[in-house]
């Protein structure tokens, strides 16, 4: 059975349980209110990478958060995890590898970018084709 910070869990609920446990374990920490404000805006996802056999917890924050906020979150979550005295991710009593990612970059949609700049791309391609034709003549 899978466990996250000492709580049995099924895989689809791993992100939710991780967030709940971190909030629960942060009760006596300084700057808890700042942490709660940031985590309320976060989109937390759990991803299992089967190739490397590692569990990933990814916090996606809005771009309004600064690198200092991300550093604060990293340090705060590390302190909370250390105070748990339980493995972050465990399967059948064996601690598993994990990573926590904090991200505040805006997502780019490559398809949307190409769609908006399609006419410019075609112009470049046409001029390159014309240049080839002139070079062959």
pLDDT digits (tens, 9 = 90+) for 75-90: 999 999 998 888 999 9
Ramachandran region of residue 5, left (φ > 0), alpha (ψ -120 to 50) or beta? left
For residues 9 and 129, which has the higher predicted lDDT (pLDDT)? Answer: 9
- Max Cα–Cα distance, the chain, nearest Å: 79
Assess contact for 46 and 10: CB atoms under 8 A. Answer: no
CB 30: neighbour CB atoms within 10 A? 10
The reported pLDDT for the residue numbered 22 is: 93
The reported pLDDT for the residue numbered 132 is: 73
Separation of alpha carbons 70 and 88, rounded Å: 20
Residues facing 56 on adjacent strands: 47, 99
* pLDDT tens digits for range 1-49: 899 998 999 999 999 999 999 999 998 888 989 999 999 988 999 999 9
With tokens 């972050």, the residue in question is 88
Separation of alpha carbons 55 and 72, rounded Å: 22
Judged against a pLDDT cut of 90, whether residue 119 lies above it is answered with: no
CB 88: neighbour CB atoms within 10 A? 22
Q: What's the pTM? A: 0.73
Q: Which helix (H) or strand (E) holds 117?
A: none
Cβ burial of 21 (10 Å; 0-12, 13-18, 19+) is: buried
């Amino acid at each position: 059975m899978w466990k996250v910070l000492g709580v049995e869990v099924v895989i689809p609920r791993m992100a939710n349980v991780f967030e709940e446990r971190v909030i629960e374990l942060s009760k006596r920490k300084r700057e808890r209110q700042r942490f709660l404000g940031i985590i309320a805006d976060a989109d937390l996802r759990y991803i299992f990478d089967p190739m490397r056999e590692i569990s990933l917890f990814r916090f996606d924050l809005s771009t309004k958060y600064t690198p200092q906020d991300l550093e604060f979150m990293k340090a705060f979550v590390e302190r909370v995890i250390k105070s748990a005295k339980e493995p972050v991710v465990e399967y059948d009593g064996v601690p598993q590898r994990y990573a926590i990612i904090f991200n505040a970059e805006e997502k780019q949609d490559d398809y949307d970018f190409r769609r908006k700049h399609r006419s410019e791309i075609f112009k470049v391609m046409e001029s390159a084709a014309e240049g080839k034709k002139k070079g062959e003549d």
